[in-house]
Structure 1
Amino acid sequence: MLQIRRRILTARHLVRYRSFPSTFNTAVETAEKLVHPPTTTFQDPFSIVSHEMSNLAKSIANLIGSGHPILNRVSSYYFEAEGKNVRPLIVLLLSQAISYIPIEQRNRIEIDFQDVTNQYHFKGTPGNKETVAGKSVDDSISPLSILHGINPKVILDPLSKPMDKLPVKDQRILPKQRRLAEIVEMIHTASLLHDDVIDLSDSRRGRPSGNIAFTNKMAVLAGDFLLGRASVAIARLRNPEVIELLSTTIANLVEGEFMQLKNTVISQDDTITNDGERKNIPQPTGKVPTKQHEYSINQVDHITNVDAAFEYYLHKTYLKTASLMSKSSRAAAVLSGCQDEIIDQCYEFGRNLGLCFQIVDDMLDYTSSDSTIGKPSQADLKLGLATAPILFAWKEEPKLGELIGRKFNQPGDIEIARRAVEKYNGLEKTRLMAQDYCHRALGNLRCLPESDARSALELLTNSVLTRSK
């Protein structure tokens, strides 16, 4: 009962900062459900898709399928620890919530209930004219001897084994949506392996990070391998629109990381730092006519500069975190055969939830201990990263721009920045920003019919805002 009262107070708190009418209605609806909850059988979001979530790591292990024991060990290392698994949970819950839309309204594409696509026979692939190209998400288009380099005379297992068959349990979640959830977690985990090398992290999920437990080289290669196997699984979904969405998320992760490594709004010189050595960025020769995007603002007033920094920060946050959530949510809707307006709302839900998630993460970096969040706390300032709390403080105290520009690399910079965040209520302002995106995400869900799955998504969305790790 105490938990329910706390949730009601949280919902009322959300109402107080509502910025548009639909958010007010969403918050009121959420509070009403907490006071008079509908008849439901779930206690937490995981219970709705408990079978899929409990078998997630095992299913992913089957997808990895390397014959090299050390590569297998490094690739599966992060899946062994207890993670949040928010991304696959979103895909599975959203897929189930969408299934309550009447089937006659989900006719944008022919829904693949049996995991079989009606494609013409590709020349060079096994089978006759009636054979589907690979038939399912587990079967290959090209011969296995080509894909996996199998030598009939070799005594060892092939390095990349064929994928196991996909189990079918919940008929409301399509087989391809279940595979989509696994792919999303593989892409996310690959990014963690890479991020921990880039950020020089020493812990992840309460134990040594991959780069510490193994080596930097092995962690990078394992991340690459996960992306490679995820790409194979993406191709076998046999839906060009979904392939395009998920492939773009991989590129977005890299773009976001580069935006974080070199903030061209705050630091506009053509130098980079590598292991303490400062060097100039090589100038283009012109042989490759790449388009140069403008991410810098010159000779403008302080407020415009801060606004540009916030815009850069939110775009970077979208690419690094929200892109995978939003595009996988859209992909789940596409596979369900939804109409465009539902697909767009699912995308916006993932985008708003992803931005809320990362903004809360940036806030927790200032407030939580290492043991609470399972990774190094207070790391952003040490890495020279300007996230929302310090940007809000900079807006009030212009001289902080010098510290941000030099990435807090001078003695005393970090402590000055932390005091400024406290003085100008940077954390509270950051919380309100996250709250606004939480409201928007809840509003996006209202396009879906009432169901336990939708209620679970609403509970999950609110929990992202109030989480402590």
Structure 2
Amino acid sequence: MVFSQKLFLSINQEISQLNVNLQKMAQANHPILYAAAKHLFKTGGKRIRPSIIFIIAKVTTNDNIIRPEHKRLAEITEIIHTASLMHDDVIDDCDTRRGLNTVHNVFNTKIAILAGDFLFAQSSWYLANLNNLEVVKVISKVITDFAEGEVRQGLTNFDTFISIEDYIEKSFYKTATLIACSCKATAMLSKTPLNIQNDFYLYGKHLGLAFQIIDDILDITSKEDKLGKPSGSDLKNGNLTAPLIFALEEKPEILRFINQEFQNKDDIKKAINIIKKTKGIQKAKDLAEEHIQLAIHIIKSKFTCNDTYILLLISDYILKRFN
């Protein structure tokens, strides 16, 4: 991918080693569990989260060196992310992910849930072995937040009264918390002052929210071959996202499809066509840009070095995924 090749040239070696280590960390005694656990690691993904950790590590250390504990944190973060995807795919009954059949499709639902649980357990074990209680507290909260986010999403499925504020809060629990907490934990491992740790937490939070909003736009605007999973999945599962919430203000006729839970074959396609005729997608993109600007402001106003520039480029990349 051009993104990782050009933007992250300075950490290519660390990303390559991370990919090797993830395979080792997914090892389980039972061959089926091992096969299921490493299934999602096959395609690699974008590795955005570990890449951000590596860059922040360089920004926050005097010698610009990524230390072993930073590398381990990056691996833990990616394992937690992958475990959450396995569970998400079961909950959403998603057939494909990153262009591959999902774990529960290849094996079965029980194996997928157990594999996700196994990866969460592995991440906790490696996290404990960092021997840094404060970092353990910060990252452990992520797993609690994931569960909170899933419950909130489940309780608001097909709920047409959901507000943008509700949506942002849910997006924090489901996506932004991992990026925010891992950014803060990176600064903690670099032994930076508390105010610096909190700055990186806010940077990660706003970056994560923007990432989720753009993801939700792409669910409506992109084709399945580009997404790596079926488009319109959010609508199908009753997960009302920013583009749809904004579109409802202009086109309340979409309510009919939501209230019927898209029961007819072409309902999702019809709803997407209506959304595209509104300002919903543009308003959602504007909302993502607001969060990107907040993230950029934190970095620009307080940190200046070559690697800081890469953090700004990451923000730009997240917005350009929309185009």
Please, what TM-score do these two structures have when normalized by structure 2?
A: 0.92
The answer for unaligned runs of 5 or more in structure 2 is none
On the 8 A contact 1:322/1:354 being kept in 2, the answer is yes
Give 1 or 2 for the bigger CA radius of gyration. 1
Q: Write the mapping of 1:332-343 to structure 2, written as runs, cut at 5 A.
A: 332-343=186-197
Post-superposition Cα deviations, 1:349-400, rounded to whole Å, max 9, x if no partner, equal 1000000001000001111111112111121112222111110011234454
Q: Which residue of 1 aligns with 2:57?
A: 95
How far apart, CA to CA, are the structure 2 residues paired with 1:180 and 1:65? 18
On the 8 A contact 2:289/2:319 being kept in 1, the answer is yes
Q: Which residue of 1 aligns with 2:204?
A: 350
| Among 429, 438, 455, the residue aligned to 2:309 | 455
| Among 278, 283, 290, the residue aligned to 1:424 | 278
On the 8 A contact 1:323/1:351 being kept in 2, the answer is yes
On the 8 A contact 1:359/1:434 being kept in 2, the answer is yes
How far apart, CA to CA, are the structure 1 residues paired with 2:155 and 2:247? 21
Please report how far the alpha carbon of residue 44 of structure 1 lies from its aligned counterpart in structure 2 after TM superposition.
Answer: 2.4
On the 8 A contact 2:158/2:239 being kept in 1, the answer is no
Q: Which residue of 2 aligns with 1:62?
A: 24
Q: Which residue of 1 aligns with 2:67?
A: 174
| Among 207, 217, 220, the residue aligned to 2:110 | 217
Q: Which residue of 1 aligns with 2:242?
A: 388
CA 1:204–1:265 in structure 2 vs 1: closer, same or farther (change >3 Å)? closer
The answer for unaligned runs of 5 or more in structure 1 is 4-41, 104-170, 268-304
How far apart, CA to CA, are the structure 1 residues paired with 2:254 and 2:220? 17
How far apart, CA to CA, are the structure 1 residues paired with 2:261 and 2:238? 4
How far apart, CA to CA, are the structure 2 residues paired with 1:355 and 1:426? 17
How far apart, CA to CA, are the structure 2 residues paired with 1:435 and 1:95? 25
Instruction: Give aligned-pair identity as a percent.
Output: 36
2:134 aligned with 1:234: no
Please report how far the alpha carbon of residue 218 of structure 1 lies from its aligned counterpart in structure 2 after TM superposition.
Answer: 0.9
Q: Which residue of 2 aligns with 1:245?
A: 138
Q: Which residue of 1 aligns with 2:294?
A: 440
Whichever residue aligns with residue 117 of structure 2, its letter is: D
On the 8 A contact 1:57/1:80 being kept in 2, the answer is no
On the 8 A contact 1:97/1:448 being kept in 2, the answer is no
| Among 147, 165, 170, the residue aligned to 1:311 | 165
2:218 aligned with 1:364: yes
2:47 aligned with 1:85: yes
How far apart, CA to CA, are the structure 1 residues paired with 2:233 and 2:269? 13
CA 1:411–1:248 in structure 2 vs 1: closer, same or farther (change >3 Å)? same
On the 8 A contact 1:45/1:457 being kept in 2, the answer is no
How far apart, CA to CA, are the structure 2 residues paired with 1:345 and 1:361? 24
Please report how far the alpha carbon of residue 325 of structure 1 lies from its aligned counterpart in structure 2 after TM superposition.
Answer: 0.2
Please report how far the alpha carbon of residue 451 of structure 1 lies from its aligned counterpart in structure 2 after TM superposition.
Answer: 2.3
How far apart, CA to CA, are the structure 2 residues paired with 1:229 and 1:415? 40
SS in 1 for 2:83: helix
On the 8 A contact 2:39/2:103 being kept in 1, the answer is yes
Whichever residue aligns with residue 83 of structure 1, its letter is: G
Please report how far the alpha carbon of residue 416 of structure 1 lies from its aligned counterpart in structure 2 after TM superposition.
Answer: 4.8
On the 8 A contact 1:96/1:172 being kept in 2, the answer is yes
Please report how far the alpha carbon of residue 417 of structure 1 lies from its aligned counterpart in structure 2 after TM superposition.
Answer: 2.8
Query: Which of the pair is proportionally richer in helix?
Result: 2
Whichever residue aligns with residue 353 of structure 1, its letter is: L
2:221 aligned with 1:328: no
Please report how far the alpha carbon of residue 403 of structure 1 lies from its aligned counterpart in structure 2 after TM superposition.
Answer: 4.3
Q: Which moved more, 1:348-357 or 1:455-464?
A: 455-464
Q: Write the mapping of 1:203-214 to structure 2, written as runs, cut at 5 A.
A: 203-214=96-107
CA 1:350–1:188 in structure 2 vs 1: closer, same or farther (change >3 Å)? same
SS in 2 for 1:83: coil
Post-superposition Cα deviations, 1:55-86, rounded to whole Å, max 9, x if no partner, equal 11211223233222221111111111130111
Post-superposition Cα deviations, 1:121-162, rounded to whole Å, max 9, x if no partner, equal xxxxxxxxxxxxxxxxxxxxxxxxxxxxxxxxxxxxxxxxxx
Q: Which moved more, 1:362-371 or 1:57-66?
A: 57-66
